[in-house]
Structure 1
Amino acid sequence: MNLIGIHAGVWVGGWSPEETRLALGRAKETGYDLIELTATDFSAIDTDLVRQLLDEHGLAASASLGLTFDADVNNDDPAVVQRGRDKLGGALDLVHRIGSKYLIGALYSTLGKYPTAATPQARANAVAAIRDLAAQAADLGITLGLEILNRYETNLLNTARQALEFLDDVGADNVTVHLDTYHMNIEEPDFVRPVQEAGERLGYVHIGESHRGYLGSGTIDFPAFFRALVDIGYTGPITFESFSSAVVDPALSDTLAVWRNLWDDNEDLARHAHRFITDGLHSARR
């Protein structure tokens, strides 16, 4: 059975002790198995408190981040690439310290709109950085999930096929494809073929609606997607992701263009999403 997760951005915009307790407590109360931490500013996260609360609530965790233009392994400048490598190393240490097994997101790239296409050298630098990170992660029992993003959030991996080619170049078993229905809706031809193409190399899934609001209220073909996951025997985490200006993360909301309120009641949203995902998987398995 899949771990059903929820992104911390549904609950909080930061990682003060009060916000940490609220996010993990609400995740447990609304039925989730896993909480995804936003590790954009991982220095702000009290890893001892997080690990204590994960144990208390019986929750698993993952951590996600995207790189920034001044610290980006998808770059031609060696100094910028090194800063990106350092950021990835810090995020990996955070994942290890909280006892998580998943570091996911735009690990290979800035999370943002590039002004030009990726150069061959920038792509090679990203491949080398992920290969080295994977070796460190393997020693810690950690899996990396490379999230495929739309063209406005990366210039490197926009489709499952591109990600699989990138994984082939990296050549590490603990580096997996991370699909997100929000991005698939923009870049992929449908919600089935990318899942089939990824197959056993699919390691993490984000469930998000086309407008990032309530599941089932947009244009995503969730029945087809859930059926595809079941058909390939996917057993990894399935994490709900939604953003509204009702919850502001200073390091993330502007980057993701969260300009409007798609919801105000995050508890109702979370409970609805949990039912939607579990019912969708149940129907797909019948």
Structure 2
Amino acid sequence: MARILSVAISTLLTAFLLAALNIGCAAQAQVADEAAVKPLRLACRVANYGKFQDEALDHIKGLGLHYVFMSIPKPEEVDAVKQQLDAKGLKALVVRGDTDLSKEASVEELGVQFETCKRLGVEYMFLSPKRHDAPFEVIYDRLRKAGNLAAKNGVILVLETHPDLGTNGEVHVATMKAINHPSVRVNFDTANITYYNHDTDAVTELKNCMEYVATIEVKDHNGAFETWNFPALGEGIVDFPGVFKVLRDHGYSGPVTLEVEGVKGVEWSLEDIQQALEKSVNYLRGIERFE
């Protein structure tokens, strides 16, 4: 009887040790997997600060961020902007370009801006493309030519989620196929999906166009069609864990830009803006890894 009991105890002890070993190995594997996932680069949009943009760089630095998303400076301002960023330990990751694509001069204007990007060391230029009354084919051709100029300067031109060239994932894809240029890609805006569309969501539309996404703008929304209500991240309806899962599943390593635009009719103080951005950054750090 004692021998049987001894064997039983030995068997249980062996099983326990094996289970503990398996748990330990699984935990080590999980840690290794997490370490293998490269942190994403998170940039804060300077325009988030509205009329308080002079306070932006100090606050962004105070948030522990290293990158900014800013408007393209004039060529003669580049050196001063670089010095200003360097002094704060910040780097421009994405810049916002500007042109009227319905005008023939738009390609030349974008070319100058790409050269400015190169001088700044910026690889991505955002553009909210407005077609106005110009034919689609004319716009596609101009963006294709702009793509050639972008490539010469080592820049990717990224088109915003905005009607009528990027209303949703399907439209983004149609535009990308029509332009057919590797240096023209998508800037996916997570909040503009529900702002400009009915009966869909950011995760669904991101999946639809993910192969063309070069930059992503994380912005929350209350979900009401064409309602200007863009709160701190985590306070709206955008499924950000789902968004980042799609990005990670596709091996995404591009910029993540943070945008908080507030609520129409509600004027935010500098403190309100700073608190919304602090909440947003803390929320993001709770669901994803960033530099």
TM above 0.5, one fold? yes
Mapped to 1, the partners of 2:233 and 2:208 lie a distance apart of: 25
Q: CA RMSD in A?
A: 2.6
Q: Which runs of 5+ in 2 are unaligned?
A: 1-38, 222-228
Deviation for aligned residue 1:167 = 1.3
Partner of 2:184: 175
Superposed, which structure 2 residues align to 1:220-235 within 5 Å? 220-235=238-253
Superposed, which structure 2 residues align to 1:133-282 within 5 Å? 133-149=146-162, 154-186=163-195, 187=197, 189-210=200-221, 211-244=229-262, 259-261=265-267, 264-265=270-271, 266-281=273-288
Change in 2 beyond 3 A, CA 1:109/1:55: same
Deviation for aligned residue 1:101 = 0.9
Give the secondary-structure state (helix, strand or coil) at the position aligned to 2:236: coil
AA aligned to 1:274 is: V
Q: 2:59 aligns with which of 23, 26, 43?
A: 26
Deviation for aligned residue 1:64 = 1.3
Mapped to 2, the partners of 1:27 and 1:85 lie a distance apart of: 33
Deviation for aligned residue 1:229 = 1.8
AA aligned to 1:109 is: K
Report if the CA contact (8 A) 1:32-1:274 is conserved.
Answer: no
AA aligned to 2:167 is: N
AA aligned to 1:28 is: K
Q: Which runs of 5+ in 1 are unaligned?
A: 76-80, 246-257
Q: 1:123 aligns with which of 136, 148, 166?
A: 136
Deviation for aligned residue 1:243 = 2.5
Relative contact order, CA 8 A, sep 6+: which one is greater? 1
Partner of 1:253: none
AA aligned to 2:48 is: V
Q: 2:115 aligns with which of 90, 93, 96?
A: 93
Deviations 1:197-238 (CA, angstroms, capped at 9, x unpaired) = 223321111111112221122222222222222222211111
> In the alignment, is residue 38 of structure 1 matched against residue 75 of structure 2?
no
Change in 2 beyond 3 A, CA 1:45/1:190: farther
Report if the CA contact (8 A) 2:71-2:95 is conserved.
Answer: yes
Report if the CA contact (8 A) 1:4-1:34 is conserved.
Answer: yes
Partner of 2:15: none
Higher helix share: 2
Change in 2 beyond 3 A, CA 1:14/1:208: same
Deviation for aligned residue 1:58 = 4.1
Deviation for aligned residue 1:48 = 1.1
Partner of 1:61: 93
Change in 2 beyond 3 A, CA 1:135/1:183: same
Give the secondary-structure state (helix, strand or coil) at the position aligned to 1:271: helix
AA aligned to 2:96 is: S
Mapped to 1, the partners of 2:203 and 2:236 lie a distance apart of: 18
Give the secondary-structure state (helix, strand or coil) at the position aligned to 1:9: helix
Give the secondary-structure state (helix, strand or coil) at the position aligned to 1:204: strand
Mapped to 2, the partners of 1:193 and 1:213 lie a distance apart of: 21
Mapped to 1, the partners of 2:108 and 2:45 lie a distance apart of: 24
AA aligned to 1:127 is: Y
Mapped to 2, the partners of 1:214 and 1:30 lie a distance apart of: 15
> In the alignment, is residue 48 of structure 1 matched against residue 79 of structure 2?
yes
Mapped to 2, the partners of 1:45 and 1:201 lie a distance apart of: 33
Aligned length: 240
Mapped to 1, the partners of 2:70 and 2:116 lie a distance apart of: 10
Mapped to 1, the partners of 2:258 and 2:64 lie a distance apart of: 12
TM-score by length of 1: 0.74
